[in-house]
Amino acid sequence: MMTIPPRFPDQPVALCHNRMQVYSVVRETPDVWTLSLINHDLYSYRPGQFALVNIGESGEVLRAYTLSSTPGISRFITLTVRHISDGVGSGWLTQQVKAGDYLWLSDAQGEFVCETSGGEPPLLLLAAGCGVTPVMSIARDVLAHHPQQSVQVFYSVRSPQEVIFAAEWQRLAARYPQLKLTVLAEQHAQPGQIAGRLSQDILQSQVPDISARRVMICGPAPYMTLAGNWAAELGAAAQNIIKEQFQTVAESISTDAELTLTRLTPLGNYRVPVGATLLAAMEQHQLPVTAACRAGVCGSCKTRVISGKYQTTSTMTLSAAEIAGGYVLACSCQLEGDVTIA
Alpha-carbon distances of 41 from 20, 22, 269, rounded to whole Å: 9, 14, 46
The secondary structure of 99-140 as a DSSP string is TT-EEEEEPPB-S-----SS-PPPEEEEEEGGGHHHHHHHHH
pLDDT the model gives residue 142 = 95
User: Residue 274 in contact with residue 268, Cβ under 8 Å?
Assistant: no
Task: Give the per-residue pLDDT at 141.
Answer: 95
CA torsion 244-246-250-251 (nearest 10°) is: 130
CATH number of 123-243: 3.40.50.80
> What phi and psi, each to the nearest 5 degrees, are found at residue 269?
-115, 135
Start-to-end CA distance of the chain, whole Å, equals 35
Which is the CATH superfamily of the domain at 258-341? Beta-grasp domain (3.10.20.30)
pLDDT per 10-residue tile (average), the chain, 342 residues:
54 82 97 95 93 73 89 96 87 94 91 76 95 97 92 97 97 96 96 96 97 95 93 96 63 44 71 80 83 79 90 86 92 86 86
Which phi and psi angles does 282 have, rounded to 5°?
Answer: -65, -40
| Three-state SS at 284 | helix
| Contact yes or no for 35/97 (Cβ under 8 A) | yes
Distances (CA, A) of 326 to 191, 267, 280, 294, 318: 56, 19, 19, 19, 10
Q: Where are the domains of the chain?
A: 16-106, 123-243, 258-341
pLDDT of residue 256: 37
The CA dihedral of 310, 314, 315, 317, to the nearest 10 degrees, is -140
Distance CA 41, CA 1 (A): 41
Biggest alpha carbon–alpha carbon distance for the chain: 64
Tell me if domain 16-106 and domain 123-243 are identical in fold.
no
Contact 310, 330 (CB under 8 A): no
CATH class of 16-106: mainly beta
pLDDT value at position 250? Answer: 32
User: Which residues contact residue 133 at a Cβ distance below 8 angstroms, ignoring those fewer than 6 apart?
Assistant: 66, 68, 80, 164, 218
Report H helices in the chain.
88-95, 132-145, 166-175, 200-206, 221-233, 278-284, 320-324
Torsion angles phi and psi, residue 271, rounded to 5: -90, 125
Q: Rounded to the nearest 10 degrees, what angle do helices 132-145 and 166-175 cross at?
A: 20
Rounded to 5 degrees, what are φ and ψ at 233? -65, -25
Task: Judge if the upstream peptide bond of residue 266 is cis by omega within 30 degrees of 0.
Answer: yes
